[in-house]
């Protein structure tokens, strides 16, 4: 989930929320680590105005499976791509709203927060906080459009379109995927009265794979398994 109540996200985030300078304003915080507890790595960027849009998207990717002599194409599932987030920010230097910012300086500050980090040789990891919306990720694009200028050409207003992709640690990915399909390697510790053919039926939905599993684990029987040993169940074709 991209959007969730702040106090349900990893331990310590409640303390991190205290680092948001202006409660209720969208804040982009650069961090050195996202998990298990985000660690701030510099000053945050606080939006002048909250965005009028907050767009998230997830895509499912497939590959085509063709059989010889058959024109039909089966769409084989590949993966669910990482969720993305995009929104627009407005910077106003006219003072019409009661607050005024120097547009070029504000854009520069935003770039320092979200773009390339020379010390790490990569863009900053980012924690984006807006009310109950929490997003952990990295920048994928930043487009700045200036729409109002002083007579000398200095911009007085800018609309910035930002896009991000979610970032997760390898451990988080494995936990969220909850992988359990038969085309992946499994391990399982035997219990009293376990039978290999019944376990194969549970894992593969086919008890006949007990022979391959017994061979992979150097077992001489499938009926009386030693209790408390870890067996490997190798992948099989879907």
- Mean per-residue pLDDT for 156-179? 73
Identify the three-state secondary structure at position 233: strand
Phi, psi of 16 (to 5 degrees): -65, -35
pTM, to two decimals: 0.64
pLDDT band, residue 4 (cuts 50/70/90): very low
Q: Which residues pair with 116 in a beta bridge?
A: 123
- Whether 6-176 shares its CATH topology with 180-233 is answered no
What pLDDT is attached to residue 123?
86
What pLDDT is attached to residue 178?
47
Segments making up each domain of the chain, as ranges: 6-176, 180-233
Phi, psi of 80 (to 5 degrees): -100, 120
Q: Is the pLDDT of residue 29 over 90?
A: yes
CATH number of 6-176: 2.40.30.200
> Which class would CATH give 180-233?
alpha beta
Per residue in 64-116, pLDDT (tens digit) is 766 666 666 777 776 778 899 999 999 999 999 998 899 999 999 999 999 87
């Amino acid at each position: 989930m991209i959007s969730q109540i702040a106090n349900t996200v990893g331990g310590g985030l409640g303390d991190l929320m205290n680092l948001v300078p202006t409660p209720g304003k969208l804040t982009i915080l650069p961090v050195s680590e996202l998990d298990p507890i985000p660690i701030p790595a510099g000053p945050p960027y606080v939006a002048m105005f909250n965005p009028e849009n907050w767009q998230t998207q997830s895509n499912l990717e497939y590959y085509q499976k063709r059989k010889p002599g058959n024109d039909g194409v089966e769409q084989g599932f590949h993966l669910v791509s990482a969720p993305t987030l995009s929104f627009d920010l407005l910077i106003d230097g006219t003072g019409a709203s009661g607050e005024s910012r120097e547009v070029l300086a504000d854009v520069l500050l935003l770039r320092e927060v979200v773009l390339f980090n020379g010390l790490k040789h990569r863009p900053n990891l980012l924690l984006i906080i807006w009310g109950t919306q929490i997003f952990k990720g990295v920048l994928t694009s930043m487009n700045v459009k200036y729409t109002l200028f002083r007579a000398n050409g200095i911009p007085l207003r800018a609309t910035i379109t930002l896009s991000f992709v979610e970032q997760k640690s390898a451990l988080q990915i494995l936990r969220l995927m909850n992988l359990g399909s038969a085309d992946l390697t499994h391990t399982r510790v035997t219990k009293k009265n376990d039978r290999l053919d019944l376990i194969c039926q549970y894992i593969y939905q086919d008890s006949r794979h007990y022979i391959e599993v017994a061979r992979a684990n150097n077992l001489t029987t499938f009926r009386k398994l030693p209790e408390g040993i870890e067996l490997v169940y190798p992948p099989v074709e879907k």
